[in-house]
Each structure stands twice: as structure tokens, then as C-alpha cells.
Structure 1
């Protein structure tokens, strides 16, 4: 499988790259992980798309081929088979691995600072830009006359020494 993906990527064709990207995501869930109940499997896949792979960090566990992602997918399925609803299964994973495991963390608690930091920094940068432009506009124009008579005399004295 890896050799096929590598050869498709090396070909350089756009269709090969797209096929390689989608093939990797499609084969992340192994056949032995799939639940017999299609409704439970659909719930498990939906939950897996919202959980971060702790190895890859920018992929969901549904897309990742890492062994830890596989373990998390199996754990989600075990919780669903045990009778947990979606929120209970997510809460179990978060309690065990921390809120970092969520691809979209909650907006409450300490995370509010992280959510607000981007817009606040943008506003701060815009305010600094406005103050800079206004300060430049209000600055007196540079004297284009050059050196004053006193400065020219001092310069001549230095050059004559």
C-alpha cells in the first residue's frame, strides 16, 4: 500500500496526488475495527473525526494510521458498544488524554484566552498601525535646507584639520 502511494506521489500527476491523499484517509480504519452495527459504526466514525491523533497532531484519529490512533478508534467503539452516548464517550477520552485530544476544544475556561488571542492580536496590530501612520503624518517635515551655517562652519573646521 505504501509503495503504491509513494509511486503515485512520485509520478507528479495531480490525479495521482489526489488519489494518494484520499487513499491514505480511506484506509486508516482497519477492517477488524469496523463494528457490525452500521448505526454504531457511523457514530464511531463521526466521533473519530473530532478527535486528534496525539502522534500526528493535525489529523483526526479517523484519518491517522498511527498505532495510538488505532487504539483510540477501538476505545471509542468499545465505549459505544458498552452503551455510552456520544458525549459520554468523548468525555471518557478527554478525561483520559486531556482536552488536547479534541480537534475543536471547548470555548470555556482557560481556552477562552486561546480563542480570543488571535482577534485581540489583530486588533492590537491594527491599532499600532493607525498610531504609527498618524504619528508619521503629524511629524514635522524634515528640513531640506541641509546643514545650518553653524553646522557648515564646524564641518569645514573638521575637514581642514
Structure 2
């Protein structure tokens, strides 16, 4: 059953009870990475293995994301500042125990490529926070696989 999460702003990234930050350098340019994150929302399903559906809503001010396993999110875009920051808040989800979720993608030039930093900040019930705290290793693996797949997609001649 879907439930409404607390409406938080970008400052939640710094004060969330549980936050994970991951970073990696890839070959693709920041502008291309930003485009894939913020402008080609349906394309997420092509490079983010857990995503089955991603679609913009309300002219791009919001989005709907569905994951393998049935988890669903309705999100509000908090920042879309090309080519450096893309952040969104989860407004509605069927994930049990969640109370607030914000994700932020920061992009910075790194040689001819991009340093991608993903921050995942959450609040929820005590069991949710505990489980999310334990999920760090798995999320790190997902992040590495995801940005590697994104980089391959962006660097392929067909892109």
C-alpha cells in the first residue's frame, strides 16, 4: 500500500538520520551524465538495472519510478542544475517504514570525464533506519554497477 512521505527539502541531505554517500569517476562528460539523469528519465530503465519504469510527470517537475520487486515511487524534482546537480524527494512510496527520502546526484569534471557522487538520505521507522543502515554495502555495489552501465551507454557510438 502506498503512503505519503514527509515533505522535506534539499537540506535534508545534511540532516537525515541515515545517509549514504558514494562516488566514482567515469569517462562520460558531465553534460552527458546530467542529460541521462535529468532529461532522459525513461532512459533510466536502460542503465539502472533495478529500474523497470521511469517516466516524467507534470512536465518534468515530478517523476514516477518502479523497481524490480514492485517498489514504486512518486518523486518531486528539487534541483535540476545542469551540469552539476540533480536531486529529488520521494513523495509517495509503497516501501514500508519510509518517512522521508531524498537522493542527490552531484557531478563534477574529472579530467575528460565526470566524478559522480550519489547521496541517499532517509528517515523512517526504527526498523527501516536500521535496515537501511545495513544496506550500505549493497547500495555501494548497485551504485558502482549503475554508473558503470551509464558510462558504457553514454560512451557507446550508438548514443
Name the TM tier (shorter chain).
under 0.3
Q: If the length of structure 2 is used for normalisation, what is the TM-score?
A: 0.24
| Larger helix fraction of residues | 1
| Larger strand fraction of residues | 2
Q: If the length of structure 1 is used for normalisation, what is the TM-score?
A: 0.24
Q: Which has the larger radius of gyration?
A: 1
Q: Relative contact order: is structure 1 or structure 2 higher (C-alpha 8 Å, sep ≥ 6)?
A: 2
